[in-house]
Amino acid sequence: MSFLRKYAELRRQKGSIMCISLDVKRRGESRKEYVERLEQLVESTAPYAIAFKVNENYTRHLSMEDHQEITQLCKSLGTLTIYDCKLSDITSTATMGISIVKDMGYDGLTVNPIFGNLGQVVKTAHDLGLAVFSVTLPSNPESARLFKLDMGGKKLFEILAEDAKISGADGLVVSATETASANDIATIRSVVGEGPIILFPGIGVQGGDLEKAIIYGGWNVLVNIGRSVVDSPEPKKVAAEYRDTLTDSWIRMNAALEIIRTPGVYRYSPDKPFILSSGKESDYYVDIRALYSHPEPRSKIAELMLVRISMEGNVDADKVATTETAGIPIASIVADRLCKGLVYVRHKEKGYGTGRRVEGVVQNGDKVICVDDLTTTGETAEACVKAVSELGGKVLAYYVVFDREEGAAERLNSIGVRLRYLTNISTLKSIMKKVA
């Protein structure tokens, strides 16, 4: 299985886009004690990370067996491993280095592409089953002096991005700090396409801009957190907080981008207001049903919903419930991917057959997550929760693609249910100002 596919599966399973750098300073302890300290960090933070990055400069004193012990532990805890060695040498020498990284047990490594042989390095690594992350625009401010040199109409980092694309690199290392502007990141993503992962260092202690990284970094991003976690007296707690912050931002911004970019979904008409289901007038309208008509945005929205549900630990629900009719497509996809039963609530009891209002089976004690397209006042959502509850179901949370922020959260909270959205009007308006 490719690194990218493993990354995508772990992103969904753990509800995370976080990589943790094990940049741990020595305290005068023995090598064994140092390894034990690294392993304690891994064990406490692995539930919240999908990858660990080990910097060569912090671990030069470790043996092959030490590295194997660390990488095997990471694998057993369901995380990927990247050896941050910034490999750079002629191909024959680089090949030896890559084989050693393979023997250490890592899933990938970072490469400095300045020798010009990235294609050969990538091929060698791929032959050994290793992923390659090409250093394209580093986070240290001094790097801009060289990586942003004009090379006859293109900056050096643009040429390196093109080289990564041609070489088939699995990922690129791009700064989230001021070293890389929003336009720099957008340019790199445009050059390499949507596939490769962009690994962003610089968030946390270095003060990098998370919003910039996510908005312009594209769908496949891996956000690196180092000292903020490993230097904390409570690494598990800090890792959990970062996981939630990073993933929440990734979900909100990507959902908003899909709504903005997908034809027919977001409409604005200040001169002729739309009439909402609540009877209120609005100068904008979000039509999630129009989004369902486009396969790629539909797939991404479904994936975002699954990541949100995983992040909050609700994948073990027994049933997925929704309302007719707009919520049925997204709820059906989610129920299918989670292998859960699906039920939907009619606006009123049908006047024929069984006369039921809830279609499907809800058994007493079933744990239920509600998945819907959007909320306004929350009246329909409240009715859905109550209908399921009357049959003995326990609603864990109410998930929607879009929240208009017009009272639904408060309404659901009053009956003991949390509203959880992929994105909302505040995020949508904020992003529209940046990408207009």
pLDDT one-digit tens code per residue, 32-87: 999 999 999 999 999 999 999 999 999 999 999 999 999 999 999 999 999 999 99
Looking at the predicted structure, is the pLDDT value of residue 352 above 60? no
Cα angle 204, 208, 212 (rounded to 5 degrees) comes to: 130
Average pLDDT of the chain? 93
What's the confidence (pLDDT) of residue 277? Answer: 74
The per-residue pLDDT for 19 is: 97
The span from the first CA to the last CA of the chain, in angstroms, equals 38
The answer for residues whose C-beta is within 8 angstroms of residue 353's C-beta and 6 or more apart is: none
Burial 120-156 (b: 16+ CB within 10 A, else e): bbbbbbbeeebbbbbbbbbbeeebbeebbeeeeeebb
Please name the residue that has the structure tokens 């791929």: 126
Both tokens of residue 80? Answer: 């990927």
Going by DSSP bridges, is the β-strand pair 171-174/197-200 parallel, antiparallel, or unpaired? parallel
Cβ neighbours, 10 Å, residue 421? 24
Helix (H) or strand (E) holding 367, with range, is strand 367-375
**Domain 266-435 CATH class label:** alpha beta
Lay out the sheet containing 367-375: strands in order across. 358-359, 341-345, 319-323, 367-375, 394-403, 419-424
Burial class (CB in 10 A: 0-12, 13-18, 19+), 231: middle
The residue behind tokens 């140092």 is 34
Phi, psi of 305 (to 5 degrees): -65, -40
Write down the pLDDT at residue 435.
Answer: 80
Q: Note the pLDDT of residue 272.
A: 84
Average pLDDT, integer, range 352-377: 87
Model pLDDT for residues 116-125, shown as the tens digit of each residue? 999 999 999 9
Place of tokens 């180092």: 226
Q: Give the pLDDT confidence score for residue 356 in this predicted structure.
A: 76
**CA-angle at 314, arms to 308 and 319, nearest 5°:** 115
pLDDT at residue 11 greater than cutoff 80: yes
Please name the amino acid found at residue 255: A
**Would you say 54 and 84 are in contact if contact means Cβ atoms under 8 Å apart?**
yes
Enumerate the β-bridge partners of residue 19.
51, 224
Strand-pair partners of 359: 344
Q: For residue 285, what are the β-bridge partners?
A: 267
With a CB cutoff of 8 Å and minimum separation 6, the contacts of 419 are 375, 378, 381, 397, 398, 400, 403, 408, 409, 412, 413
The predicted pLDDT at position 77 comes to: 97
pLDDT of residue 357: 86
pLDDT tens digit sequence for 380-436? 999 999 999 999 999 999 999 999 999 999 999 999 999 999 999 999 999 998 886
Q: What is the pLDDT of residue 350?
A: 56
| Separation of CA 138 from chain center | 21
Tell me the C-alpha distance between 408 and 400, whole Å. 11
Q: What percent of the chain has pLDDT over 70?
A: 98
329, amino acid identity: P
User: What six digits make up the tokens of 57?
Assistant: 């400069």
**What 3-state DSSP class applies to 90?**
coil
What does DSSP assign to residue 100? H
Q: Which two tokens stand for residue 142?
A: 């001094």
- The sign of the CA dihedral 232, 234, 235, 239 is negative
Q: Assign domain 3-230 to its CATH superfamily.
A: Aldolase class I (3.20.20.70)
104 versus 283: which is more confidently predicted? 104
| Domain assignments of the chain as residue spans, ordered by start | 3-230, 266-435
What is the reported pLDDT for 275? 82
Instruction: Give the CA dihedral 272, 278, 284, 285, nearest 10 degrees.
Output: -110
pLDDT grade, residue 349 (50/70/90)?
low
In whole angstroms, what is the distance from residue 430 CA to residue 257 CA?
A: 11
pLDDT of residue 288: 94
- The answer to whether the beta carbons of residues 37 and 29 sit under 8 Å apart is yes
Confidence of residue 355 (pLDDT cuts 50, 70, 90): low
DSSP 351: S
Q: Is the pLDDT of residue 353 over 70?
A: no
Q: What is the pLDDT of residues 136-152, one digit of tens each?
A: 999 888 988 999 999 88
pLDDT value at position 271? Answer: 81
State the pLDDT confidence band at 220, using cuts at 50, 70 and 90. Answer: very high
Q: Lowest-pLDDT range, 43-57, 226-240, 275-289? A: 275-289
Is pLDDT at 7 greater than 90 in this prediction?
yes
DSSP assignments along 27-57, one per residue: -S--HHHHHHHHHHHHHHHGGG-SEEEEEGG
Mean pLDDT, range 231-245, rounded to an integer: 95
Cα Rg of the chain (Å, integer): 24
The residue-averaged pLDDT of 193-201 equals: 96
Three-state SS for 10?
helix
Residue type, 201: P
CA dist 19 and 82 (Å) reads: 9
**Contact, 229 vs 20, CB < 8 A?**
yes
| Number of other residues whose CB lies within 10 A of the CB of residue 417 | 23
pLDDT at residue 436, as a whole number = 67
Q: Dig out the tokens for 210 from the structure.
A: 């998370």
206 pLDDT tier (thresholds 50, 70, 90): confident
Nearest to 8 by CA among 41, 68, 51: 51
